[in-house]
Structure 1
Amino acid sequence: MLETMKGAIFDLDGVIVDTAKYHYLAWRSLAKRLGFEFTESDNERLKGVSRMESLQILLEVGGVEANEAERLEMAEAKNKEYVEYISRLEPAEILPGAREYLLELRNRGVKIALGSASKNAAFILGRLGIAELFDAVVDGTKVSKAKPDPEVFLAASAALGLNPADCVVFEDAAAGVEAGKAAGCKVVGIGSAVILRDADCVIAGLHELV
């Protein structure tokens, strides 16, 4: 599977870099302003989910009602705080093995894309100093349907000029694994074999592949 793939499509958070902690801090801060606690356990439900859907889950947790204008204002405030965190990101925060594996794939002639719900993906890749290693970046600014919908991976494989069947997706969330399979790609799960049981194989991190 990995030896014969023509394209590799990577999720961002939890695969290339751990920005999930910054998302959590920003969501927790918003919840505190709204008058309730948002725990790390609650935050697990936001993995691989779009910003507005994440907000919906957070409001459900807190039992908070909000109209459309208020929701947009909340999402913007959360994102502003998150961007403040990631504006201080450094190349050293790339997860172990990620840069090395990306370089190895480029040397093999495998095309590389990012497939992420994040609207800050291009900015993050720039901060990490690895933007030039990607042939295509498909993120939340280019797709409208959140995982487990396969839109992001279908768009990424198309951007690489490849059939989904010739691509392998690297994902750390169950919704992302489901999206990759629905797109017709092979999927490498990164994390728990129990949570990612539908992946074609599961590893602890990209460091296992270099």
Structure 2
Amino acid sequence: MTATTTLTARALLLDMDSTIVNSEAVVERCWRRWAAEQGLDADEVLTVVHGRQGWATMAALLPDRPMERNLADNRRMLAQETSDMDGVVPIPGAPAFMAALAGLPHALVTSADIALSDARMGAAGLPMPAVRITAESVSASKPDPEGFLKGAAELGFAPEDCLVFEDSEAGIEAGRAAGMRVIGVGDRAAALAPTAHVRDLTQVRVEARADGVLALHLTD
């Protein structure tokens, strides 16, 4: 028997990678290459990368490394990722989910920069939300809550009125730190105790009520 959980909000804040866009193949290719350059175990590196800006991942992995080198590598890797769209596709259910949000309060809150988010949303065939918080918008990477707080403020809603969709530990921590409830998307999120969890976006139905409340119906 199918069970349904319903959460309500006035605005939705959406992570991009592995939440609405599947870019795992590109991320793995780029970070395995970087790990080999640094003499690091690639599998261990891949446990850290998700959700953060690249320079923040590098700082976590190599705490004694000068930040200038991290920033330089970050710029180089962003260029590589932006030129590599092989295997970038929407998460199952994402096209219908994004179509349902048209005209409703929602924002993209991503650790990618403008160019990379343009490229990946385009490759996945997904519409870009009118409000977008990118790497250029913030001074701190997830798990810092700055991005989600800025997204809520730009939409004009209090943090407690927002629901976050996230896949990664850093992203879920950022949503919680912002005082928001979090719907975890995908296998990685299942173990991170989000407010609710879905396998993918085929399990989410959006209902816009007359009073401006958004009801998110989640099925298992």
Q: Aligned partner of 2:149: which letter?
A: L
**Equivalent residues of 2:13, 2:164 under 8 A apart:** yes
Report what 2:195 is aligned to. 200
- Give the conservation status (yes or no) of the 8 Å contact 2:131–2:155: yes
Q: Is the partner of 2:9 in helix, strand or coil?
A: coil
Q: Where does 1:108-123 land on structure 2 (aligned, <5 Å)?
A: 110-119=104-113, 120-123=116-119
* TM, length-normalised to structure 1: 0.82
Structure with the higher helix share, 1 or 2? 1
Q: What is the rounded CA distance, in whole Å, between the counterparts of 1:30 and 1:3 in structure 2?
A: 40
Within a 5 Å distance, the mapping from 1:97-112 to structure 2 comes to: 97-106=93-102, 110-112=104-106
Give me the whole-angstrom Cα distance separating, in 2, the residues matched to 1:130 and 1:162.
24
* Cα distance between partner residues in 1 of 2:96 and 2:23: 19
Corresponding residue for residue 52 of structure 1:
55
1:209 paired to 2:204: yes
List per-residue Cα deviations over 1:5-33 (Å, max 9, x = no partner).
22111101110112233122112112323
SS in 2 for 1:114: strand
Aligned residues: 198
User: Residues 82, 3 of structure 1: CA spacing in aligned structure 2 closer, same or farther, 3 A cutoff?
Assistant: same
The answer to whether 1:95 aligns with 2:91 is yes
- 1:80 corresponds in structure 2 to 79
Q: Deviations along 1:45-79, whole A, 9 cap, x unmatched?
A: 1111121111234446xxxx754444333223322
- The correspondence for 1:14, drawn from 5, 12, 18, is 18
Q: Contact 2:90–2:126 (CA<8 Å) still a contact in 1?
A: no
The amino acid that maps onto 2:104 is V
- 1:125-158 alpha-carbon deviations (Å, 9 max, x no partner): 23333234x1311011111211121111111111
2:160 and 2:67 map into 1 onto residues whose CA distance is 39
For residue 79 of structure 2, what is the amino acid of its counterpart?
Answer: K
What CA distance in whole angstroms lies between the structure 2 residues aligned with 1:49 and 1:130? 22
Q: Deviations over 1:173-195 (max 9, x none)?
A: 12211211221222101134652
Change (3 A) 1:45 1:159: same
Alignment correspondent of 2:214 = none
2:166, 2:182 within 8 Å by CA — same for their partners in 1? yes
Identical-pair percentage? 27
Give the counterpart letter for 1:116 in structure 2. T
Aligned partner (choices 40, 43, 58) of residue 43 of structure 2:
40
Structure 1: give runs of 5+ residues left out of the alignment. none
Instruction: Measure how far apart 1:2 and its partner are.
Output: 5.3
- RMSD of Structure 2 on Structure 1 (CA): 2.4
